[in-house]
Amino acid sequence: MAQKIYSRPKSLMPMPSGFCPGCLHPLATKLIADAIDELGQNNNAVHVLPVGCSALNLMYWRGDMLGAAHGRAPAAATGFKRSAPDRLVFAYQGDGDLAAIGLAEIMSAANRGENFTVFFANNSTYGMTGGQMAPTTLIGQKTSTTKYGRDAETTGFPMRMCEIISTLDAPYYVARFALNAPKGVNQAKKGIKKALQYQLEGKGFTFVELLTNCPTTWGMTPLQSLDYMETNTIPYFIPGVYKDKGEKA
Amino acid sequence: MAKVLMKGTVAIAEAAVRAGCRFFAGYPITPQNEIPEYLSWRLPEVGGAFVQGESEVASINMVYGAAANGTRAMTSSSSPGISLMTEGLSYLSGTKLPALVVNISRGGPGLGTIQPAQTDYLQATKAMGHGGFRVMVFAPSTLQEAVDLTYECFDYAERDRNPVLLLMDGSLGAIMEQVEFPPMKELTDEGTRKWNLAKHEGETRMPRMLTPVYPEVILENENKQRALLTKQWEENDVRVEEFMMEDAEYVVVAYGISARVSKEAILNLREQGHKVGLIRPITLFPFPKKTFQNLNYDQVKAFIDIELAIPAQMRDDIEVAVRGRAPVYEYGRSGGMLFDDESVYDAIHKIVTGGAE
Ligand SMILES: Cc1ncc(C[n+]2csc(CCOP(=O)(O)OP(=O)(O)O)c2C)c(N)n1
Ligand code: SF4
Ligand SMILES: [Mg+2]
C-alpha cells in the first residue's frame, strides 16, 4: 500500500502561492506550519502578521491570525499572549519590519522575556516596497536607495539581530538558519520546532532568524539568489544557535 | 457603596477595573502617571495584566493585541503620547477592535508644558489618526462623571467595535473629589464572542483573522458602515448638559474644566441680572448640534466659546451648529495657563454689555 510521506501541512490552505517565483517566504512559512502540525497546535496557534511581503500569508494560513502594524508585531503579540497565556503565539517579521521601524518593540519584548516566538525572515531588503536598503542590507549590496551599493561610510553596517538579542538575559532560545540549501532547511525545521516547544513549556522568549532571499528586487534568478546567499549573506550572518538555555547542563 | 475621596487619575483607573478592564499598557508621561501606577498593582489583583510599554507606540499596539482576544483593554497618556498612538488608533478602528484611550491633556504644541490645557480637541474630534475614522469622545467635568463615563466607555467601544476616547485636561486629573464607584462588572465575552480570537469554552470555531487590510470594494463598504455609525451616534448617543438655558440670551459653550469655571462665573453674572446660560457638551464627538438647532434665536443674542485653547478649537463646531444665526465669541487661555471664574466673568461681562469688538 502507498504510504504518504510528504503532504501539505494542516495550517496551510490548498491554493497556489502569490509570492514571487523562487521567494523563500513560502518555504519559511511551510516549515513553521509543519512544526505546528507536529506539535498538534493547529487549533491553538495564533499567527501575528507583520507589514511586508509575508503578510501575504493571510491568504494561505489556516488558523487564527492578527494583522499588526508595521514593526509592532511583538507589541501586538505581547498584548495577546498576556491576555491568553495558553495560546501558542508567534510573530513572523521581515527585516525592515523588525530591525528598522520595529527595533524598539522586538528588543523590549525580548528583554521582557515575553513567552512567544518571533520568526525573523531576513532577506536584506524591503521586498514589499520595491527593494530599498534595510538595516540588514550587506555592504556593497545594490538596492533602490543604494544605487552604487551600500556604503558603510554613510549608512553604517548590517545589523546582526541574533547577536544583539542574545546579549540580553531574558531570551531563552536564539538561533539563525539559512534557507538557501537543504542542510539549513533541515536545521531550521528543528530549530523552529524547538522554539515553539519551549514556548509551550512557558520558557519565555524564543527567536529564530531565517535567512531568505528576494530574487525580484535583488534582480536575480531564484538560483542566482541562492548562490548570492551562500557567498555573501551567510559569511556575514553566520548561522548557528546563539542561545539555548535548555541545552546548558 | 460609600463615597471615597480620590484623585481624578486614580478614580478613572479604578472605574476601568470595575468596568471589566483586564489589560493596560502605557508609557510614563505627566500628568497621568497615577493611572499606570495604580493599575500596575491593581490589575494583577483582579487577574488582569499590566505592561509598561517601551513607548506609546508599543503600548497602543499591545492594547490592540489584547483587544483581539476580546479582553477589555485600555491605555492612557497625555498629549504628545497620544500623538504617537494615532497610527495604532487607526489600526484599532480599521480592524474593528474596541479599546479605551484616556488623554489627560496638557499644553502644546510640541513638548509644550505639563500644565493643563484643552488643545487636543481638534485631534480628538476630527482625526485621531489617518484614514477618516472617527471615535466617540467623552469629556467629563467632575470626577463622578469621569468615573461613570469610564465605566460606560468600554460598553460603547464593544458595541461599536471601535476605540473610544476619554478626554480630560490635567487639572481634572489632578484634583481630588468624592466619588462613588459602580459595582464590579461581571466578565463576559458576550460582546466580543462573535469576532474575537479567544478560545471558546466547549466550542470549536473556524479560524479567524483580524486585520485592517481589505480589498478596495470591501473597504469602501466598511467606510460606509463607519459613516452610518457616526450618524447613529448623532441620533442616539449625544450627551449634553444645559445650565440656566431657559431664558438665556448669552450662551456660554464650554466643556470639562472650562465648563466648571464658567458655571461659577454664570452664577455671579445672574446675580447681576444678566441672562447667561451654558451648553456643556459631554460628548465632544458626536457634538450636540441639535441643542443649538433647538434654541430660540429671537432670544439668544450671542455665544461665547470658553476653552483652555488659543485659538478656540470647538468654535468651528459651534459655528456649524449655529449657522450664522448669532455671533460667536471666544475667550481662552493656552500653553498651560489657566483662567479663574473672575477672568471668565469679565470676558462674558464684556460681551453681555456690548464691550466686545
Ligand atoms: C508606518 C509604515 N511605514 C511604512 C510602510 C511601508 N512598508 C510596507 S512593507 C515595508 C517594508 C517591508 O520590508 P521587510 O519588513 O523587510 O519585509 P519583506 O517585504 O522584505 O519581506 C514598508 C516600509 C508601512 N506599511 N507602514
Ligand atoms: S518581492 Fe521579494 S520578498 Fe516579496 S514576494 Fe517577491 S521575492 Fe519574496
Ligand atoms: Mg525584508
DSSP tag of A212 = -
In a domain, B176, yes or no: yes
Our mutation pick for probing the ligand 1 site, out of A20, A51, A119, counting the most ligand atoms within 8 A of Cβ, is A51
pLDDT recorded at residue B221: 97
Q: Is A216 in the pocket of ligand 2 (CB under 6 A)?
A: yes
pLDDT at A6: 85
Residue A46 DSSP SS3: strand
Residues B33 and B153 in one domain: yes
Kindly state whether residues B45 and B116 are assigned to the same domain.
yes
- If you measure CA to CA, which chain A residue comes closest to B210? A66
Looking at residue A101, its pLDDT comes to 98
Domain annotation covers residue B341: yes
**pLDDT number for residue A5:** 84
B212, B83: one domain: yes
Question: What domain range is B100 assigned to?
Answer: 4-236
Residue B316 lies in a domain: yes
Task: Answer whether residue B254 is part of any domain.
Answer: yes
The residues whose Cβ lies within 5 A of ligand 3, an ion, are A 94-95, 123, 127
Note if the bond before B286 is cis, omega within 30 degrees: yes
Q: Provide the sign of the torsion angle of the four alpha carbons B341, B344, B348, B353, taken in this order.
A: positive
For residue B193, the distance in angstroms to the closest alpha carbon of chain A comes to 14
Three cell numbers at B189?
A: 465575552
Say which CATH number the domain at B203 has.
3.40.50.970
Q: Are residues B228 and B283 in the same domain?
A: no
CB atoms B65 and A66 under 8 Å: yes
**Average pLDDT along chain B:** 97
For A95-157, strand residue ranges (E) read: 117-122
Q: Do A72 and B61 touch (CB under 8 A)?
A: yes
Task: Write out residues in chain A with pLDDT < 50, as ranges.
Answer: none
C-alpha cell at B241: 448638559
Q: Give residue B357's pLDDT.
A: 56
* pLDDT at res. A57: 96
Choose the final residue of a domain: B205, B220, B236: B236
Contact state of B207 with A63 under an 8 Å Cβ cutoff:
yes
DSSP string, B264-324: HHHHHHHHTT--EEEEEESEEES--HHHHHTS-TTT--EEEEEESSSS-SSHHHHHHHHTT
Q: Looking at the structure, do residues B145 and B248 belong to the same domain, yes or no?
A: no
Please, are residues B282 and B137 in contact by the beta-carbon 8 Å criterion? no
Is residue A83 within 8 Å of B71, Cβ to Cβ? yes
Of B51, B199, B210, which has the smallest distance from its Cβ to A67's Cβ? B210
* Cβ-contact B77, B9 below 8 angstroms: no
For A89, residues 6+ apart whose C-beta sits below 8 A from its C-beta are: A45, A46, A48, A77, A80, A81, A116, A117, A199
Rounded Cα distance between A94 and A53, Å, is: 8
φ, ψ at B106 (rounded to 5°): -130, 170
Q: Does a structural domain hold residue B122?
A: yes
Q: Give residue A43's pLDDT.
A: 94
Chain A residue closest to B97 (CA)? A66
What is the C-alpha to C-alpha distance for residues B248 and A227, in angstroms, rounded to an integer? 82
Q: Do B64 and A75 touch (CB under 8 A)?
A: yes
What domains can be seen in chain A, in order of their start residue? 25-248 (3.40.50.970)
CATH code of B308's domain: 3.40.50.920
CA distance B301 to B298: 8
Determine if ligand 2 sits within 6 Å of the CB of residue A220.
no
- Gap from B20 CA to chain A (nearest CA, Å): 13
The complex's ipTM? 0.97
Same domain, B52 and B191: yes
Pick from A66, A69, A112: CB nearest B197? A66
Query: Shortest CA distance to B78 belongs to which of B29, B111, B135, B7?
Result: B29
| Domain final residue pick, B212, B236, B260 | B236
Domain end residue (candidates: B236, B263, B297): B236
The reported pLDDT for the residue numbered B203 is 82
Q: Would residue B357 count as lying in a domain?
A: no
| Partners of B101 in the β-ladder | B75, B165
By the 10 Å C-beta count (0-12 exposed, 13-18 middle, 19+ buried), A126 is classed as: buried
Asked if residue B19 belongs to a domain, the reply is yes
CA distance B45 to chain A (A): 15
Residues of chain B with pLDDT under 70: 1, 356-357
Question: Within this chain, do residues B25 and B45 fall inside the same structural domain, yes or no?
Answer: yes
3-state secondary structure of A99: helix
- Answer whether A48 contacts ligand 2 (Cβ < 6 A): no
- Number of other residues whose CB lies within 10 A of the CB of residue B238: 17
pLDDT score at B356: 64
pLDDT value of residue B175:
97
pLDDT digits (tens, 9 = 90+) for B304-341: 999 999 999 999 999 999 999 999 999 999 999 999 99
Residues B232 and B290 in one domain: no
DSSP B183: P
In this structure, the answer to whether residues B231 and B293 fall within a common structural domain is: no
Query: Quick one: DSSP state of residue B112?
Result: -
Which residues 49-68 on chain B approach chain A with CB closer than 8 angstroms?
A: 49, 51, 53-55, 57-59, 61-68
Domain-embedded: residue B174 = yes
Q: What is the whole-number distance in angstroms between the Cα of residue B219 and the centre of ligand 2?
A: 25
Q: Are residues B126 and B212 in the same domain?
A: yes
B247 shares a domain with B210: no
Helix then strand then coil, % of chain A, to nearest 5 = 40, 20, 45
Count of domains forming chain B = 2
Nearest C-alpha neighbor of A42 from the set A65, A58, A19: A65
Task: Check whether residue B245 and residue B228 sit in a common domain.
Answer: no
